[in-house]
Structure 1
């Protein structure tokens, strides 16, 4: 007995058509880019205010407490991560700043539990 191969089109099964939405950006409207370093960001009042608000929130929430390091502890640095948040219409919603620890130097059981 020979079996006949039935294709999708013979069963009226078709792949959905792909619809592409293209975003047109006007060349005279450039989107602001987030700076990569503190030195670049500190030149602009918007970023300075965002970093100040983040740092104040960390202090008000008692996120950490400063203690003197011991010789066996590995002190880690921190970095500002900056990004611009946009509304649906493309306007700027806010400038967002986060202070994050550079955790790739930490050792479990020594630097944290």
Structure 2
């Protein structure tokens, strides 16, 4: 089965977004059970969840509204770049904003 056929339905893609978000958030939750080096508070999980869900839903909107073309690819790259830059800022503070980590 082709990837297009598997994720052709919007409901399936939204289910995938929710599942992947839950799996990613489970990684630090499980790690916290085995080591003291991972210390996340509830606010960290909420922030990460909002960031991941908003990114997934933004990607879904681009997929729904832009069928093909270079513009669609550029929009997807911009969304993913924004995710990584925000995540890095929250984690280590690469821009020095008040939201910077560490």
Fold similarity call, TM over 0.5: no
* TM-score computed with the length of structure 1 as normaliser: 0.26
Q: Which has the higher helix share?
A: 2
* TM-score computed with the length of structure 2 as normaliser: 0.28
Q: Between Structure 1 and Structure 2, whose CA radius of gyration is higher?
A: 1
Q: Which has the higher strand share?
A: 1
Greater relative contact order, per chain length (Cα 8 Å cut-off, separation 6+): 1
